[in-house]
Amino acid sequence: MLHCNMNTLTQRNALEDMLADMRHARRKGDLGRLAFVAYCEVRRWARDAGKTAIAEHASELIVASPFASKSLFLEQVDSLIHELEEVGPSLDELPVDAVKQTGSALSTNGARSP
């Protein structure tokens, strides 16, 4: 249970860091940084988190044929940022089994019940 929560916390923190980095690079118009974060960090994080669709989107953003314009690239970056924002709340949800185990395993004073 603790391991599951730590993984979720680690994934959540990594997601928040990536989103902050992408938003900052987007505001500054730093295309190189956006490409780096999308391809290296987002893709790795998405694979680790089991979000294959996001990993594929991040990969296609960089590997696919060049964009016709800067604005088309930025539209795709905005789409990726939106996808990552949508994933955030789902990381907070625990599996129902884990919640049941936690609730039944602890008594009201915090001691483990037999």
pLDDT of residue 36: 95
3-state secondary structure of 48: helix
- What's the pLDDT score for residue 10? 86
In a domain, 9, yes or no: yes
For residue 14, the enclosing domain spans 2-94
Q: Read off the pLDDT band of 58 (50, 70, 90).
A: very high
Asked if residue 1 has pLDDT above 90, the reply is no
pLDDT at 90: 66
Give the tokens for residue 102: 């936690």
Residue with tokens 């118009």: 29
Give the chain's domain count. 1
Q: For residue 9, what pLDDT is reported?
A: 82
Residue 29 lies in a domain: yes
How confident is the model over 6-51, as pLDDT tens digits?
A: 577 888 999 999 999 999 999 999 999 999 999 999 999 999 999 9
Is the pLDDT reported for residue 95 higher than 80? no
> Using CA atoms, how far apart are residues 39 and 62, in angstroms rounded to an integer?
6
Residue 51 lies in a domain: yes
Please indicate, yes or no, if residue 11 is contained in any of the structural domains: yes
Per the rule left: phi > 0, alpha: psi between -120 and 50, beta: everything else, 11 is alpha
